[in-house]
Amino acid sequence: MKRPLGAGKKAGAADGKTIDPFRLPRDRAFWRETLAAYWYLIPAFLVLGTFVFYPFFSAFKLSLFKWSSLNPPGTFIGFENYRYIFHDKYFWRAMGHTFYYVGITVPVTLALSILVATLLNQGLRFLSFARTSFFLSYISPVVAMAMVWRWMYNVDYGLINYFLSFFHIDAIAWLNDPRYSLPAVILLSVWHYVGYQAIILLAGMQSIEQQYYDAAKVDGASGFQTWWKVTVPLLSPQIFFVFIISLIGSFKVFTEINVLLSGPGPLRSAETLVYYIIRSSGRIDHATNHIGRAAAASVVLFGIIFVFTIIQLTLTQKRVHYD
């Protein structure tokens, strides 16, 4: 392994965090460290390069072709696939549904999982049991979940409508009404992922050094103040992580929809971008296989999240508390 020499000296390790990441000083030490860093990256990038980047770039290529499996990738048609999807009303609807879904699911799940993690971090007993229970919803097979939730959403016998009847709300046809199909999926997703996210946040909380809490105690901070001023800021790397993962995962929602609604929902009311992509690739609903269109839609989806992620990375460069 190449020895990474004291790169920190010139850059100044202590204030390295405040340096604008886009304008790092590019001296000799920097390039030496770059070389060292690449050694660290090689194993992962070798695998990812072969099985993720390469197929991704070939997907990008496919988006410019009219697919033919006999003579792959088929006929070059320029941006015709993009033109097609941009003129397809179902693509735009799927885009709308996706943003609606992501916009609600991500913040709600995150807020709930912070609360759950906090609860599980209160030094209560039966913690192992509680943690395992919260994790179980995540590892139970989707079919089992969907069955339970199909019953929860049942118009006549479902728990949810029963609960709503206390508030004199009429029975809702959750799975068969275009207005409620997506909210039904959102609720299922929040429930499915909250335990998992809480476990990650909890691991983060437990890594927070006791000295910070001691300091807060000395300062006479109340429980809530300690949580708000110590726990949450120190947890920000994990919160940021969970946020991005949840954002990405939510943009890709598919299985929950397909299983819960047995398809894209009434009047295709819960068809998301990934549902659209998978349908275009011919995997479901006996659809014709238009790999090129599916690839084009994937590239658009990639573009959206890429922009989101870049914005996130830049914004949090300063905001996330890293030590």
Partner 1 sequence: MADPSRGQALETTRTESYYVARRRAYKAFLYILMFAGCAVMLLPFFWMLTTSFKTELEAMRMPPQWIPRTWLWENYPVALARAPFGRYFFNSFFVSILSTIGEVFTTILAAYAFAKMRFFGKNFLFALLLGTMMIPGEMLLIPNYVTLVRLNWFDHYEGLIIPWLASVFGIFLLRQFFRSLPDELWDSARIDGCRRFRYLWTIIVPLSKPAILTVALLKFLGSWNAYQWVLLMTNAQSMRTVPVGLTMFSSDIGTEYQLLMAASVVAIVPILILFFFTQKQFIQGVARTGIK
Partner 2 sequence: MLRKLTLVGLAAVMLFGMAAIAQEPVTIEFWHAMSSGHQPNLQKLVDDFHAAYPYITVTLVYQGNYGALQGKIDAAVVAKNLPAIAQVYENWVTPIASILYPIGNFMTDAEKADIIDGLVPSNTYNGVLTTVPFNKSIMVMYYNKSLVTTPPTTWAEFLELAKALTVDVDGDGKIDRYGTAFRPAANPEQFLIFLEQAGGSILNADWTEVTLNNDAGKAAVEFVGSLIPFSYITSEYMSDHIKDAAMFVDTSAGIGYNVKAATNAGFELGVATLPAGPANFNSMIQGTNLAVFNTENLTQAQKDAAVLLAKFLIRPENTVFWAEKSGYQPVVKSAYNTQEWLNWVATHDYQIQMSEQMLNSFSQILHPNYGDMRNVLSSGFDEIMRGVVPPLEGLESMAAEIEALLE
Residues that bind partner 2 (CB under 8 A): 68-70, 72, 90, 150, 175-176, 178, 261-268, 279, 282-289
Q: Which of 311, 189, 315 is nearest to 251 (CA)?
A: 189
Calpha distance 190→288 (Å, rounded):
33
Least spacing, CB of residue 46 vs partner 1, in Å: 8
Residues in the chain: 323
Q: Choosing among partner 1, partner 2, none, which partner's interface includes residue 285 (Cβ < 5 to 8 Å by kind)?
A: partner 2
Size of site (CB under 8 A) for partner 1: 106
DSSP 211-239: HHHHHHHHTT--HHHHIIIIIHHHTHHHH
Q: Of 84, 99, 100, 135, which lies in the binding site for partner 1, with binding defined by CB under 8 A? A: 135
Restricting to residues 98-127, name those near partner 1 by CB under 8 A.
Answer: 116, 119-120, 122, 124, 126
- Using CA atoms, how far residue 155 sits from 188, 243, 256, in Å, is 16, 33, 19
How far apart are alpha carbons 237 and 106 in whole angstroms?
Answer: 16
Whole-angstrom distance, CA of residue 228 vs CA of residue 1:
43
Element containing residue 173 per DSSP (H, E): none
Is 71 a binder of partner 1 (CB under 8 A)?
no
The residues in 270-299 that bind partner 1, with binding defined as CB under 8 A, are 274, 277-278, 281, 283, 291, 294-295, 298
d(CA 270, CA 100): 10
Beta strand 75-76 pairing with 65-66: antiparallel
CA separation for the pair 178, 175 (Å, rounded): 8
Minimum distance from CB of 288 to partner 2 (Å)?
A: 3
What's the closest the beta carbon of residue 114 comes to partner 1, in angstroms?
14
Query: Does 30 help bind partner 1 (rule: CB under 8 A)?
Result: yes
| Residue whose pair of structure tokens reads 């299985």 in the numeric block | 255
State yes or no: residue 163 binds partner 1 (CB under 8 A).
no
Measured from the CB of residue 54, what is the shortest distance to partner 1 in angstroms?
7
Q: Of 17 and 179, which has the nearer Cβ to partner 1?
A: 17
266's contact among partner 2, partner 1, none, with CB below 5 to 8 A by partner kind, is: partner 2
**Among 184, 180, 194, 16, which residue's Cα sits nearest to residue 109?**
194
Q: Could you tell me the two tokens for 143?
A: 């079919």
Residue placing its CB nearer to partner 1 in the complex, 179 or 203: 203
Smaller CB distance to partner 2: residue 16 or 72?
A: 72
Is residue 144 a contact residue for partner 1 (CB under 8 A)? yes
* Nearest-approach distance from CB 134 to partner 1, in angstroms: 5
Of the pair 73, 195, the CB lying nearest partner 2 is at 73
Q: How many helices (H) and strands (E) does the chain have?
A: 16, 2
Q: Which is nearer to partner 1, 179 or 202 (CB)?
A: 202
Q: Which of 76, 83, 143, 222 binds partner 1 (CB under 8 A)?
A: 143
- Our finding on whether 245 is near partner 1 (CB under 8 A) is yes
> Residue 75: in which H helix or E strand, if any?
strand 75-76
The one of partner 2, partner 1, none whose footprint includes residue 265, by CB under 5 to 8 A per kind, is partner 2
